[in-house]
Amino acid sequence: MLRDRFLSPYQHGSSAVHRLPAGAKLLAAVAGILLVVLLPRAAWGGYAAVAAGLAAIALAARADLRGMLLRLLLLEPFVLGIALLALLKPGGVPLFLSMLTKSTLCLATMILLTATTRFSDLLAVLWRIRVPALLVTTLALMHRYLFVLLEEMERMQRARRSRTFVAGRTSAWRNSAQVAGQLFVRTSERAERVYLAMCARGWKA
Amino acid sequence: MHVPDGFLDARTLVATAGLAAVGLGLALREVRRNLPPRRVPLIGLAAAFVFAAQMLNFPVAAGTSGHLIGAALAAVLLGPAAAVVAMTAVLLLQALMFADGGVTALGANVLNLAVIAPLVAWAVYRGVRSIAGEGQRATLLAAGFAAWSSTMAAALACAAQLAASGVVAWGTVVAAMGSVHMVIGLGEAVITMLIVAVVVRARPELVLSIDPAVRATRRRSIAYGSALAIGLMVLLAPFASSLPDGLEHVAERLGFAGRAAAAQPAPLPDYAVVPLAEASPWLATVVAGAVGALVAFGVAWFVARALAAPGPAGSRH
């Protein structure tokens, strides 16, 4: 499914790109994105060079190019939406094109990074570069329970679907809200249990 | 509303990153100092919850559907500081794991959606509750209007950043983002109210215990009410037309004006896109903002009336 595919950006592999330390890859990706963002608007040669570099890395990673392209297409509408605003400006066409190129290159960089690096490895990097512990803990818990909650939500929706025949717009809104509200109640109950389990293992705030 | 990489200029990136870092830093300090330890894991799980809730579809029309942003919901369910931390985690995960929202624009996105949006939501939520009281209906009304206001505030902040980067003219972007998000904000308000209503019915203490200090007297209500009204006027109306002048003034003094002019080869007068605004842009913005706020408040009021149970909060359990 498209959604499941979107939710698992990492692709297992054993290429040299996969084996590079996560910190180095994150640094390289951020440096690449900074370069693209700061390039002058008409630096088409620079854009082409970055694109060529990304393509070379993607090939070296033996990554699923089709999957990455699909992900790029899924994210492109958001980029396009903002870029279109530039067209409202007189003489905005070159601006529109260069912004679209810049954003697409940055998107491709991040897609390549996330396809070859586990999020847990990126978290470890954030921990090492001394991002505040509370924020890293929050991110780690979020990442750990994200898929648990998504599955719980899926189960609740399935249960609802199997009991409801009519789905008008109003009832669809009420049903989705019911699922979300119940999910929050269950989430806060789960958080209590997680807290007790963390305390039992010696965690201190 | 996630700004991707490549739209904001270096000056805006640095400024927004600085402001976001200050906001996040204060929120982290507040959580460390004042939040009971047993609520800390909830921030992480609530962030996951917001992410999950954003994936729920709310069908609008003709096959399109909207979804939740969640800043106001987080503020109502977690309190302001924890909401800032949770929303920041959501944006970080979206940027670093799903390439959704730029990496260099992370500062701007955190500022708009994780600092400004939850804090505006909290201020409005508290303000409305202190006037309308603590019943279920008042809580829902406050949550709904807070959701609309926070959506508008985040959209206007985003518009200001795009305009400051010279990507679009201020008048164009405010008209576009403002009018679109007046409607999106209504959806956000209704979704937030529906979800809060479910939580209030199942576990009222989860919502109502966040802010036990609200005990409004009539005099305080009047003070809050007028402060809110003035705040809204300031936020929604002259904000839109006075800020660009302020920005241009600052830019001129700092010597950015030449660069800004170079980036806009053929400047049109601001607001040229909106015909009504050509006569009196200030008045048009005031009217549009005030009408939007009134409509949102009205919608929130009606939905709250329809949703609130007849008995006192939590009487079903």
Residue by residue, DSSP assigns A80-116 as: HHHHHHHHTSTT-HHHHHHHHHHHHHHHHHHHHHHHH
Name the residue in chain A with its Cα closest to that of B66: A173
Q: Residue A89 is nearest to which of B48, B172, B190, comparing CB atoms?
A: B172
With b for 16 or more beta-carbon neighbours within 10 A and e for fewer, the B70-103 pattern comes to bbbbbbbbbbbbbbbbbbbbbbbbbbbbbbbbbb
Q: Which of A58-72, B121-135, B270-284 has the lowest mean pLDDT?
A: B270-284
Q: Could you tell me if residue B177 is left (phi over 0), alpha (psi between -120 and 50 degrees) or otherwise beta?
A: alpha
pLDDT along chain A (205 residues), means of 10: 70 83 93 91 90 92 86 87 79 85 93 91 93 94 93 91 76 88 94 93 81
Mean pLDDT of B83-104: 92
Bridge partner residues of B59 (DSSP): B65
Confidence class of residue B1 from pLDDT cuts 50, 70 and 90? confident
Which is more confident, B308 or A2?
Answer: B308
Q: Alpha carbon of A63 to those of A3, A89, A113, B197: distances in Å?
A: 19, 39, 11, 46
A18 close contact with B: CB closer than 8 A: no
CB contact under 8 A, A181 and B197: yes
Task: Give residue B290's pLDDT band: very low, low, confident or very high (50, 70, 90).
Answer: confident
Mean pLDDT score of chain B, rounded to an integer?
A: 78
- Cβ of B4 within 8 Å of Cβ of A107? The answer is yes
Are A176 and B57 inside 8 Å of each other by CB? yes
Structure confidence at residue A86 (pLDDT):
78
Query: pLDDT tens digits, residue range B163-222?
Result: 888 888 887 788 888 888 888 899 999 999 999 999 999 988 888 666 544 444 555 555
Structural contact between residues A63 and A25, judged by C-beta atoms closer than 8 angstroms: no
**Which chain B residues contact residue A102 at CB under 8 A?**
5-7
* Confidence (pLDDT) at A32: 93
Q: Which residues in B lie closer than 8 A to residue A182 (C-beta atoms)?
A: 198, 202
Question: Is A68 part of the contact surface with chain B (CB cutoff 8 Å)?
Answer: no
* CA closest to B83 among chain A residues: A138
- Structure-token pair, residue A78: 């958001």
- Reading the block at residue B51, the tokens are 């992410």
Across the A/B interface, how many CB contacts are shorter than 8 Å?
238
Model confidence over B38-48: pLDDT tens digits? 889 999 999 99
Cross-chain residue pair A187–B55, CB shorter than 8 Å: no
Give the whole-angstrom CA distance, residue B123 versus residue B80: 9
A80 and B CB contact within 8 Å: no
- Let me know how long chain A is: 205
Range of lowest pLDDT (A23-37, B200-214, B234-248, B275-289): B234-248
Q: Which tokens sit at B76?
A: 């109502």
What are the tokens at A15? Answer: 């290429």
Q: How far is it, in rounded angstroms, from Cα B74 to Cα B80?
A: 8
State the pTM of this model.
0.83
CB-CB contact of A14 with A63 (8 Å)? no
Give the residue from B105, B109, B115, B106 showing the smallest Cα distance to B8.
B105
Instruction: Point out the least confidently predicted range of A76-80, B117-121, B271-275.
Output: B271-275
Q: Report pLDDT for B256.
A: 40
CB A22 within 8 A of CB A121: yes
CB distance B49 to A149 below 8 Å: yes
Of A32-46, B13-27, B61-75, B225-239, which range is least confident? B225-239
The C-alpha atoms of residue A89 and residue A50 are separated, in whole angstroms, by 28
Q: Which two tokens stand for residue B95?
A: 């940027």
In this predicted model, which residue has the larger pLDDT, B242 or B308? B308
Chain A contacts in chain B segment 219-278 (CB below 8 A): 264-268, 273
> Alpha helices of chain B — where are they, by DSSP H?
10-34, 40-54, 71-78, 80-98, 106-109, 117-132, 136-164, 170-202, 204-208, 218-236, 238-254, 257-263, 275-279, 281-307
Report residue A131: phi and psi, to 5°.
-65, 140
Q: Is the pLDDT of residue B227 over 70?
A: no
HSE at residue A29, side-chain half, CA atoms within 13 A, is: 31
CB contact under 8 A, B59 and A173: yes
Query: What's the burial of B196, exposed, middle or buried (CB within 10 Å: 0-12/13-18/19+)?
Result: buried
Q: With contacts defined as CB-CB under 8 Å, which chain A residues touch B47?
A: 138-139, 141-142
Q: Tell which A residues from 131 to 150 touch B, by Cβ distance under 8 Å.
A: 132, 134-135, 137-146, 148-150
Give the residue on B whose Cα is nearest the Cα of A169: B59
Residue pointed to by tokens 């001394």: A130
Tell if the CB–CB gap between A198 and B41 is shorter than 8 Å. Answer: yes
Q: What is the pLDDT of residue B235?
A: 52
